[in-house]
């Protein structure tokens, strides 16, 4: 059973969470998809830095962030650490710069330095709740589960992050086997914001408690809230098998397989369409030169009509995947 949860940082400053798998983790490490995994806050930190300087006129700042993002997506965390240190030296008063350096330290296993930079970022103005989330993540990676739980506990009353803190603490408590408190936390989290990833975690907790029918019920709720989230059907299939309900388990596995095949087919169609798009504009009398630049597509001074621009935006994930593969 997967035990990872993906955390995406939005440009408005918030977080969203969804359950994920080791396969998703491998794909994201390869730079195909955006976002971060709990335990890997690099993407979130760089997104926060980009958000903080989006109105800056200094193109060097934007260029530095683009390079950091590209290096992070490639998984070259040793180089990311150097770039982050250079950024902080150039812009020492920028809190999100120190937050990004903290994330780079963490990815290089230098946890005490990651904590130090997080505290420095907080002193310079990083939101307290964001700093606490980062410290919790570092402590979790370090194996200091007690400290991670303490950071999440301090956040539970926070208006912005309380439901996520309860969710995160429940996940930690499940890991150490405190199932009663984990259940209490996830119940409270669901009462605040009833999201499908929270129902999935509650299903995990009930499964660990041996309450298999309740586990099935929560996985079912999660799938109803997010039908495209078929990973939960694998978990439900496992519980059905434990209950001896082999037909139901087989139905879930077949549904997951169909969804996976359909997703692969659709992704291949989009990749083919993106490849044709690049080929067409690259073979014009005045060819357009495309390049991946962080999470954006660099087309130089080329201009596109409304239809072509809309198509490029629709195919953006696939275009970035192809362009990164050419680097």
Quick one: which of 154, 109, 108 has its CA closest to 131? 154
Angle between helices 95-107 and 111-123 (to 10 degrees): 170
Structure confidence by residue, pLDDT tens digits, 22-65: 334 333 322 222 233 333 567 677 777 777 776 666 678 888 88
The fold of the 4-226 domain, in CATH, is 1.25.40
Written as six digits, the tokens of 3 are 């035990």
Could you state, in order of their start, the residue ranges of all structural domains in the chain? 4-226, 269-326
Structure confidence by residue, pLDDT tens digits, 110-136: 999 999 999 999 999 998 888 998 899
What per-residue confidence (pLDDT) applies to 71?
Answer: 84
Using CB atoms within 10 Å of the CB of residue 325, give its burial: 0 to 12 exposed, 13 to 18 middle, 19+ buried: exposed
Specify the length of the chain in residues. 327
What per-residue confidence (pLDDT) applies to 24?
Answer: 45
What per-residue confidence (pLDDT) applies to 18?
Answer: 53
């Amino acid at each position: 059973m997967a035990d990872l949860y993906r955390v995406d940082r939005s440009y408005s400053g918030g977080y969203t969470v969804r359950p994920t798998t080791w396969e998703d983790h491998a794909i994201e490490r390869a730079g195909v998809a955006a976002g971060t995994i709990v335990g890997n806050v690099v993407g979130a930190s760089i997104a926060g830095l980009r958000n903080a300087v989006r109105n800056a006129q200094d193109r060097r700042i934007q260029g530095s962030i683009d390079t950091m993002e590209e290096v992070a997506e490639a998984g070259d965390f040793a180089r990311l650490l150097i770039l982050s240190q250079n950024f902080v030296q150039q812009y020492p008063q920028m809190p999100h710069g120190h937050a990004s350096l903290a994330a780079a330290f963490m990815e290089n296993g230098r946890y005490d330095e990651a904590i130090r930079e997080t505290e420095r970022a907080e002193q310079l103005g990083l939101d307290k709740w964001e700093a606490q989330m980062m410290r919790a993540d570092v402590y979790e990676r370090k194996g200091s589960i007690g400290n991670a739980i303490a950071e999440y506990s301090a956040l539970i009353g926070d208006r912005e992050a309380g439901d996520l803190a309860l969710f995160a603490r429940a996940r930690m408590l499940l890991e150490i086997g405190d199932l009663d408190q984990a259940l209490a936390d996830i119940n409270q989290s669901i009462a605040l914001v009833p999201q499908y990833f929270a129902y999935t975690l509650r299903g995990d907790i009930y499964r660990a408690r041996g309450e298999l029918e309740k586990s099935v019920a929560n996985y079912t709720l999660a799938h109803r809230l997010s039908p495209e989230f078929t990973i939960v059907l694998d978990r439900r299939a496992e519980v059905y098998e434990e209950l001896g309900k082999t037909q139901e388990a087989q139905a879930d596995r077949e549904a997951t397989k169909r969804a996976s095949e359909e997703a692969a087919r659709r992704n291949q169609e989009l990749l083919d369409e993106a490849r044709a798009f690049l080929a067409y504009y690259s073979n014009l009398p005045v060819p357009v030169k495309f390049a991946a630049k962080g999470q954006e597509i660099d087309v130089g001074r080329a201009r596109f009509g409304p239809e072509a621009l809309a198509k490029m935006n629709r195919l953006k994930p696939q275009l970035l995947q192809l362009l990164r593969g050419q680097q």
